[in-house]
Amino acid sequence: MDVETWYRHAPITEETVYFDMMNKVDMINKGFLLSSLLVQPLSLTLVYFPMSSTRSNLTHFLVNQANGVKGLADLNLPTVPPQYIQPLQARLDHTKIVPRQSIPIIDFTNWEDPDVQNSIFDAAVEWGFFQIINHGIPFKVIDDLKASVHRFFELPAQEKKSLKESSPPEVVRLATSFSPHAELVLEWKDYLQLVYASEEKIHAHWPAICKDQAVEYMKYCEVIIRKLLKVLLKKVNVEELDKAREDTLMGAMILGFNYYPACPEPEVVSGVAPHSDISSITVLLQDDIGGLYVRGSDGGDSWIYVPPVEGALVINIGDVLQIMSNERYKSIEHRAVANKRKTRISIPIFVNPAPDAVIGPLSEVLENGDKPKYKQLLYSDYFKYFFSKAHDGKKTIEFAMI
């Protein structure tokens, strides 16, 4: 199956009707509903956004009219609509943030040096998350990309709507929250996913407002990704990143633009709820606002803040590498919070297998008699399963367990 066919069949259309979910949300939100109708002037038009709006009205505003949560935030509402309010146990408890602890920062200049490779391996095993600096991407490329992300989300809703309607979802996908058709509570985030497809498709479909900046950034990142995968694989006895392995591990990369508008009540919403990525690895560029937290290694409910480091890339292990390494590496849960005063952006590259790739523990890691913990499965099945439900910690990987 090629990337195109795969995306077309992924069950991720947001136009799905929410009957079931709406009922549950209304029940949960009893007591939160405000009866007043808020009227806010926006440009020359009057935008009416009732806080007692039903889930379907909200969906119409967010999804069908392509306002996204950006459009909602632009209304300067004093509180968030009830559909965004997370139950207490799902919110980040600030007493659970581990003070003065953070993930390793690795200088990538001499990445071939065995000491550097050991520190990458150690960080991947111990933390599942680390930052790299001196990776060779010019600051200008990074700054231009970030500026283009802001420009994209600041486009009028009407333009985003036409982009949504005219873009093939297998190449470009603009969405809000995560999988709104499957979520009980929405996430305070809009996102654009650009599939790193053929040059022809990129040229035809990536939005002009950010295309050159995104392509330039991807060219640099592709080189870094290959180096990182080489190191991580060598440490589990895979000596060569040949074409077949490359297809499996990095056959379908997706560049994501995450946009978290300033939020009147950041403490009650999720920017991104706890989850692990379904990539082999993820390479994330965050801006200087901060908001990313990684699950602590104590197995409890502790969270470690990932501070923005200028020019650094945050690298994390995804489920695919956990599966293929038979748990030598582990994907780590993480989450992002919104900011009260400032819009935050982050730019992940999900280094995904090709949709038709079969993933499962590598023969090299089973050579010493290890029992496989995961079955062999089609990556497109794993991908579809991930998007068929809300973010739910590390539960997705159970789908692949023997």
Ligand X SMILES: O=C(O)CCC(=O)C(=O)O
Instruction: Return residues touching ligand X (CB under 6 A).
Output: 256, 258, 272, 277, 284, 286, 292, 334, 336, 346, 348
Residue 14 engages Fe ion in binding (rule: CB under 5 A): no
Nearer to Fe ion, 117 or 279 (CB): 279
Residue 187 engages Fe ion in binding (rule: CB under 5 A): no
Closest to 388 in 3D by CA, of 4, 1, 13: 13
Residue 83 interacting partner from Fe ion, ligand X, none (CB closer than 5 to 8 Å by kind): none
Nearer to ligand X, 32 or 387 (CB): 387
Q: In the complex, what is the shortest distance from the CB of residue 261 to ligand X, in angstroms, rounded to a whole number?
A: 13
Q: What angle do CA 239, 245, 248 make, to 5 degrees?
A: 145
Nearer to ligand X, 274 or 360 (CB): 274
Q: How far is CA 173 from CA 8, 12, 18, 112, 313, in A?
A: 11, 10, 20, 37, 24
- Give the helix/strand (H/E) hosting 320: helix 319-324
| Segment contacting Fe ion by CB under 5 A, of 135-143, 187-195, 204-212, 275-283 | 275-283
Residue 346 interacting partner from Fe ion, ligand X, none (CB closer than 5 to 8 Å by kind): ligand X
Q: In the complex, what is the shortest distance from the CB of residue 258 to Fe ion, in angstroms, rounded to a whole number?
A: 9
Q: In the complex, what is the shortest distance from the CB of residue 344 to ligand X, in angstroms, rounded to a whole number?
A: 7
Nearer to ligand X, 55 or 189 (CB): 189
Q: What angle do CA 222, 233, 391 make, to 5 degrees?
A: 70
Q: How far apart are the C-alpha atoms of 248 and 355, rounded to whole Å?
A: 9
Q: Tell me whether strands 292-295 and 303-305 are parallel, antiparallel or unpaired.
A: antiparallel
Q: In the complex, what is the shortest distance from the CB of residue 277 to Fe ion, in angstroms, rounded to a whole number?
A: 4
Contacts of 7 (CB under 8 A, 6+ apart): 168, 169, 170, 171, 173, 195, 355
CA dihedral 169, 173, 179, 180 (to 10 degrees): -100
Nearer to ligand X, 192 or 365 (CB): 192
Residue 216 engages Fe ion in binding (rule: CB under 5 A): no
Residue 124 interacting partner from ligand X, Fe ion, none (CB closer than 5 to 8 Å by kind): none
CB 346 within 8 A of CB 338: no
Q: In the complex, what is the shortest distance from the CB of residue 92 to Fe ion, in angstroms, rounded to a whole number?
A: 15
Residue 256 interacting partner from Fe ion, ligand X, none (CB closer than 5 to 8 Å by kind): ligand X
Joined together, the tokens standing for residue 399 give 């789908």
Radius of gyration from C-alpha coordinates of the chain: 21
Residue 279 interacting partner from ligand X, Fe ion, none (CB closer than 5 to 8 Å by kind): none
Residue 221 interacting partner from ligand X, Fe ion, none (CB closer than 5 to 8 Å by kind): none
Q: In the complex, what is the shortest distance from the CB of residue 129 to ligand X, in angstroms, rounded to a whole number?
A: 11
Q: How far is CA 275 from CA 47, 164, 186, 356, in A?
A: 34, 26, 15, 24
Q: In the complex, what is the shortest distance from the CB of residue 334 to Fe ion, in angstroms, rounded to a whole number?
A: 6
Residue 277 engages Fe ion in binding (rule: CB under 5 A): yes
Residue 258 interacting partner from Fe ion, ligand X, none (CB closer than 5 to 8 Å by kind): ligand X
Q: Tell me whether strands 129-133 and 105-107 are parallel, antiparallel or unpaired.
A: parallel
Strands of the sheet with 334-336, listed across from one edge: 272-275, 334-336, 292-295, 303-305
Name residues contacting Fe ion, limited to 283-322 (CB under 5 A). Answer: none
Q: How far is CA 258 from CA 30, 123, 337, 376, in A?
A: 30, 25, 12, 31
Residue 333 engages Fe ion in binding (rule: CB under 5 A): no
Size of the site for Fe ion (CB under 5 A): 1
Nearer to Fe ion, 62 or 315 (CB): 315
The helix-helix angle for 139-153 and 211-234 (nearest 10°) equals: 120
Q: In the complex, what is the shortest distance from the CB of residue 283 to Fe ion, in angstroms, rounded to a whole number?
A: 11
Q: How far apart are the C-alpha atoms of 24 and 21, rounded to whole Å?
A: 5
Nearer to ligand X, 85 or 336 (CB): 336
Nearer to Fe ion, 74 or 277 (CB): 277
Task: Give contact residues for Fe ion (rule: CB under 5 A).
Answer: 277
